[in-house]
């Protein structure tokens, strides 16, 4: 499989180079040259297949022969070594729980798949040391830190916005040590992301370090997110209603992977991009004017993105045709007050505890179902409620049980380096 840069279709790359580089030399995101439909028998037999078999069939065409089938299956088996249940919440509404991995967030899948792929290429090609440089608005940092911890030949540098991630999220990315370094940035996530992109284009840094990105701009982080939707469909295959998935959306990698799965033949009828106050896509689908803006801080902080990187991939999937996009994608946005009220109301009514991101997904789904009553709707619960302990406990009026994996880090000492601008990042990377 070859990939092209969305900034220049003449620039192409194989899978390995796209994973190792992260971004194309022209700063464009890589996109597959061909999206191949899966055969009908795959969907007919999906309920008899295990997780590894399903995921292997879904992603093998994007990897090609660059990773052997046996090694790819091993990487996938390690990536998916936990559950992805669809839980009934109320009539015709289910929650796809993506928080049963090691850092209790959906980003465990992409981080583990990328770590396995990059580790394979390092051993195969003797690439030398690689620095994974990543910006996080919340859960990416912890997932990447855990996924790459102790991987030979890889150093990880994580940028995160000071005071804008939850305490548990911060502990997950600042307490591991070994090959993991956290840089606490005096600014918003968009600044962290811009600094990372700038570093990739800095020749002086490139001469010192071989950089790659573990944000969802990297194809090895983006593509495996399609696994969620195939695994959910396996559980819903006997459902006789149309299917709609509501995805809490920040950088739009997750929903873009779902839309890619749909393009490959997965029978999902509609997607909802559920936004918080950072609603650039909601506004775009309303007025046709795509206008990024500075991000604002919310209680659903992993979605605090004012210029979502992966939306350019969404547009490519729909050939940049606005009408085609609107037919298959809806978007709604909600503020913090609505988010808190929904956490409380759903808990009081059903006993189900949502985190702020899942609550945004639930709200978006409810808006869609008001006008589309013939659907079964699934919202993605992307993080365990414990990761937003203060917000959730205040909303539901009672304590949330803390999993053992969190108990193990909550009292550890945070270790981070504070920086305020690109020059300080560059100085660190050159040191």
Tokens found for residue 231: 């695994």
Report residue 55's pLDDT band, with 50, 70 and 90 as the boundaries: very high
In the DSSP assignment, the letter for residue 22 is S
pLDDT for res 217: 87
**Looking at the predicted structure, is the pLDDT value of residue 339 above 80?**
yes
Query: Average of pLDDT values for 264-285?
Result: 96
End-to-end CA gap in the chain: 37
Are 213 and 182 contacting, i.e. CB atoms less than 8 angstroms apart? no
Tokens found for residue 237: 């295959």
Tokens found for residue 170: 């911060």
Report residue 418's pLDDT band, with 50, 70 and 90 as the boundaries: very high
**Looking at the predicted structure, is the pLDDT value of residue 420 above 90?**
yes
Percent pLDDT > 70 in the chain is 100
Kindly report, residue by residue over 212-271, the tens digit of the pLDDT. Answer: 888 788 999 999 999 999 999 999 978 889 999 999 999 999 999 999 999 999 999 999
CA torsion sign for 57, 58, 61, 65 is negative
**Looking at the predicted structure, is the pLDDT value of residue 41 above 80?**
yes
Place of tokens 């409620």: 385
Q: Rounded CA gap, 395 and 147, in Å?
A: 32
pLDDT for res 410: 82
Residue 344, number of CB atoms within 10 A of its CB: 17
Report residue 308's pLDDT band, with 50, 70 and 90 as the boundaries: very high
Report residue 407's pLDDT band, with 50, 70 and 90 as the boundaries: confident
Tokens found for residue 114: 């990328």
pLDDT for res 23: 87
Report residue 3's pLDDT band, with 50, 70 and 90 as the boundaries: very high
Q: Rounded CA gap, 87 and 73, in Å?
A: 27
Report residue 367's pLDDT band, with 50, 70 and 90 as the boundaries: very high
Whether 126 sits among the annotated catalytic residues: the reply is: no
Residue 66, number of CB atoms within 10 A of its CB: 17
Are 179 and 150 contacting, i.e. CB atoms less than 8 angstroms apart? yes
Active-site residue identified among 34, 40, 51, 107: 107
Q: Which residue has the higher pLDDT, 146 or 61?
A: 61
Q: Rounded CA gap, 122 and 309, in Å?
A: 27
Query: Average of pLDDT values for 327-344?
Result: 97
Kindly report, residue by residue over 114-135, the tens digit of the pLDDT. Answer: 999 998 998 887 677 889 998 8
pLDDT for res 155: 92
Percent pLDDT > 90 in the chain is 73
Q: Under DSSP, is residue 105 helix (H, G, I), strand (E, B) or coil?
A: strand
Report residue 345's pLDDT band, with 50, 70 and 90 as the boundaries: very high
Are 382 and 109 contacting, i.e. CB atoms less than 8 angstroms apart? no
Query: Average of pLDDT values for 19-47?
Result: 93
**Looking at the predicted structure, is the pLDDT value of residue 189 above 90?**
no
pTM of the model: 0.91
- Mean confidence (pLDDT) of the chain: 93
Report residue 408's pLDDT band, with 50, 70 and 90 as the boundaries: confident
pLDDT for res 393: 95
pLDDT for res 186: 93
**At residue 96, what are phi and psi to the nearest 5 degrees?**
-90, 105
pLDDT for res 334: 97
pLDDT for res 122: 87
**Looking at the predicted structure, is the pLDDT value of residue 191 above 80?**
yes
Residue-wise DSSP of 132-185: EEEE-SSHHHHHHHHHHTT-TTEEEEEEEETT-S-HHHHHHHHS--TTEEEEEE
**Looking at the predicted structure, is the pLDDT value of residue 307 above 80?**
yes
């Amino acid at each position: 499989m070859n990939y092209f840069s969305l900034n220049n279709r003449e620039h192409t790359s194989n899978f390995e180079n796209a994973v190792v580089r992260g971004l194309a030399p022209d700063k464009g995101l890589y996109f597959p040259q061909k999206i191949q439909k899966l055969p009908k028998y795959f969907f007919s037999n999906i309920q008899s297949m295990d997780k590894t078999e399903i995921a292997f069939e879904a992603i093998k065409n994007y990897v090609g022969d660059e990773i052997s089938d046996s090694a790819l299956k091993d990487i996938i088996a390690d990536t998916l070594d936990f559950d992805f249940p669809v839980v009934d919440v109320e009539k015709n509404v289910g929650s796809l729980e993506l928080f049963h991995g090691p850092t209790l967030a959906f980003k465990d899948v992409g981080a583990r798949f990328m770590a396995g792929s990059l580790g394979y290429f390092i051993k195969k090609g003797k690439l030398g040391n690689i620095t994974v440089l990543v910006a996080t608005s919340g859960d990416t940092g912890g997932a990447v830190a855990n996924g790459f911890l102790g991987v030979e030949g890889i150093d990880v540098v994580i940028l995160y916005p000071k005071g804008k991630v939850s305490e548990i999220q911060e502990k997950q990315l600042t307490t591991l040590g070994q090959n993991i370094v956290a840089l606490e940035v005096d600014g918003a996530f968009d600044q962290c992301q811009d600094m990372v992109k700038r570093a990739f284009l800095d020749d002086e840094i490139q001469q010192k370090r071989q950089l790659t990105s573990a944000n969802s701009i990297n194809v090895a982080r983006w593509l495996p997110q399609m696994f969620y939707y195939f695994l959910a469909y396996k559980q819903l295959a006997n459902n006789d209603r149309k299917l709609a998935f509501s995805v809490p959306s920040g950088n739009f990698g997750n929903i873009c992977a779902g839309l890619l799965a749909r393009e490959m033949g997965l029978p999902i009828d509609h997607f909802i991009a559920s936004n918080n106050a950072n609603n650039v896509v909601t506004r775009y689908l309303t007025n046709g004017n795509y206008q990024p803006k500075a991000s604002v801080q919310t209680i659903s902080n992993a979605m605090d993105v004012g210029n979502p990187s992966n939306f350019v991939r969404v547009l490519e999937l729909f050939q940049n045709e606005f009408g085609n996009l609107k037919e298959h994608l809806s978007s709604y946005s909600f503020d913090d007050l609505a988010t808190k009220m929904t956490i409380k109301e759903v808990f009081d009514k059903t006993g189900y505890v949502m985190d702020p991101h899942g609550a945004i997904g639930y709200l978006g789904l409810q808006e869609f179902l008001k006008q589309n009553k013939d659907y079964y709707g699934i919202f993605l619960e992307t993080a365990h409620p414990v990761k937003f302990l203060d917000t959730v406990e205040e909303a539901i009026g009672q304590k949330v049980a803390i999993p053992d994996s969190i108990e193990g880090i909550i009292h550890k000492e945070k270790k981070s380096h504070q920086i305020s601008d690109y020059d300080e990042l560059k100085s660190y990377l050159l040191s």
